[in-house]
Amino acid sequence: MNIGIAGAGLIGRLLAWQCLRAGHSVSLFDRDTIDGEGSAARVAAAMLAPYSEAAHCPREIFDWGVASMALWPRLIRQLHQDTGINVQLEQNGSVVVAHIRDTGELDNLMQLLGTKLPEHQAQITLLDQPALASLEPSLAGRFEQGIFLSGEGCLDNWALLDALADAIDSLGGEWHAAVSVDNVQPGQLDVEGQPISFDCVIDSRGLGAKPNQPGLRGVRGEVLWVHAPEVSLTRPVRLMHPRYQLYIAPKPQQRYVIGATEIESESMQPITVRSSLELQSALYSIDTDFAEASILKAYANCRPAYVDNLPRIDVEEGLISVNGLYRHGYLLSPLLLQLALDSLDGQVEHPVVRQQSSMQEGIAR
């Protein structure tokens, strides 16, 4: 099949790569450059955190997230076969902490997870100071307790995005960077004013698909990437606070991401001073060794979300749209990738997937 993909963020790249692997011919179009600097996928901290997300997200995110996370190792192995690049995937759990004045937030989280995930309590452990010290020694000086979520992790998304670009190139994908896709319709992409026909078109433009996806909105997030050679955190750390939850995700080469703010706004302006102060003070409060870290990047971008904050695959003859991954892109993308690939081959039964007929019924209701 001759497939045209609009949008080369995380989902666009994954789909292009897997379609090539399946023997299809693929053209990928994106307004961004190949490094993906303007993509929400580049900005993300790439947390794989179904448990802590379950506290304030619909239950589906947890169920789909756990199923999806299990698909990452095979994808990472395939990517290694295709490119020789070993993308770091950590699945050693994460740690949640709160400062002494906010320890009530830890109790709240334990209580919420107890209510929402009663059958998964084995993966949720309250840590006293010695237990915390044995997991993450640098946290123990500052925090007296924490929560260990053994089923969580994170991955090195910069390396992943680069490796996917390599894989697409080496498998013969055609990448049209820095072009604008004006319209997407079944079997056709309008690129820079020129209609191009395909057997099937995939729309994975994220917020860029808003003209075709009423109800899609952007939720602004801001993150900092820092280089902190003096810091020795090995797992993602989530800092609970009465008003915001921030996480620090360790990346290779002593880099850490701190994020992300969550603002109901579609502003793409650079990070604000207020957000930057909040993120930096959170870093410093977790470990004072962050004081000497270099700030590599300060990003602001918008996550694409539907009104229920759940992802969706819309399927009709000649067009598959994958969107609304919100703050769960890296968690959910393997599952959505699988469902989208299956949808290319035939009808798929899954709550995420809406066939055109059921979409029309939805409108009629």
Partner 1 sequence: MDNRWSVYGKTFESRFLIGSSLYPSPQVMRDAVQASGAEIITVSLRRQSPERGGGDTIWDFIKQMDCTLLPNTAGCHSVKEALTLAQMSREIFQTHWIKLEVIGDEYNLQPDPIGTLEAARQLIKQGFEVFPYCTDDLVLCQRLRDAGCQVLMPWGAPIGTGRGLINPYALQTIRERLPDVSLIVDAGLGKPSHAVQAMELGFDAVLLNTAVAQAADPVLMATAFAEAISAGRKSFLAGAMPQRQTAKPSTPTLGTPFWHQEGVDAS
Among residues 89, 74, 83, 43, which one has the least CA distance to residue 173? 83
332, 311 in Cβ contact below 8 A?
A: yes
Residues 6+ apart with CB under 8 A from 267: 220, 300, 302
Of 2, 58, 281, 284, the one binding partner 1 (CB under 8 A) is 58
**Stretch of 51-59, 120-128, 187-195, 315-323 contacting partner 1, by CB under 8 A:** 51-59
**Residue 272, token pair as written in the block:** 């604000």
Nearer to partner 1, 60 or 169 (CB): 60
CB of 25 to partner 1, least distance (A): 36
Of 56, 74, 121, 174, the one binding partner 1 (CB under 8 A) is 56
CB of 54 to partner 1, least distance (A): 10
Contact status: 267 vs partner 1 (CB under 8 A): yes
Contact status: 269 vs partner 1 (CB under 8 A): yes
Contact status: 196 vs partner 1 (CB under 8 A): no
Print the binding letters for residues 200-219 with partner 1: x by CB under 8 A, - otherwise: -----------------xx-
Residues 6+ apart with CB under 8 A from 13: 28, 41, 161, 164, 165, 168
Which residues in the 98-117 window bind partner 1 by CB under 8 A? Answer: 101, 112, 115-116
Print the binding letters for residues 234-263 with partner 1: x by CB under 8 A, - otherwise: --------xx-------------------x
Question: CA-based angle 271:276:282, to the nearest 5?
Answer: 145
**Residue 177, token pair as written in the block:** 């960077």
Nearer to partner 1, 179 or 298 (CB): 298
Which residues in the 270-309 window bind partner 1 by CB under 8 A? Answer: 272, 274-275, 305, 307-309
Print the binding letters for residues 142-181 with partner 1: x by CB under 8 A, - otherwise: ----------------------------------------
* Cα distances (angstroms) measured from residue 85 to each of 79, 127, 161, 166: 7, 36, 11, 9
Which residues in the 6-25 window bind partner 1 by CB under 8 A? Answer: none
Contact residues for partner 1, defined by CB under 8 A: 56-58, 101, 112, 115-116, 217-218, 220, 242-243, 263-267, 269, 272, 274-275, 305, 307-310
